[in-house]
Amino acid sequence: MFIKDKANFYFISRGSAFECVPLIELGFELGLIAEIQKTELRDDLQAVCKMLTKLVQSLKEEN
């Protein structure tokens, strides 16, 4: 059951990261962040999402 709980936590975390994308866009549209910051933040989020996806996959391989 522990592995299933971990996988669920990673899925929730990935969803939370996806929810940050519109906030970054809004910050850019309101002039709160520069375009380069927007790009860097989106790239960071993409990297985090990839890591979380790989963590979930590694848990599936353990089963």
In a domain, 63, yes or no: no
Number of domains the chain contains: 1
- Of 33 and 1, the structure prediction assigns the larger pLDDT to 33
In a domain, 53, yes or no: yes
In a domain, 38, yes or no: yes
**HEC profile of the chain:** CHHHHHHHHHHHHHHHHHHHHHHHHHHHHCCCCCHHHHHHHHHHHHHHHHHHHHHHHHHHHHC
In a domain, 32, yes or no: yes
Question: Domain of 25?
Answer: 2-58
In a domain, 20, yes or no: yes
pLDDT band of 63, cuts 50, 70, 90: low
pLDDT in tens, 22-57: 999 999 999 999 999 999 999 999 999 999 999 988
Enter the pTM of the model: 0.80
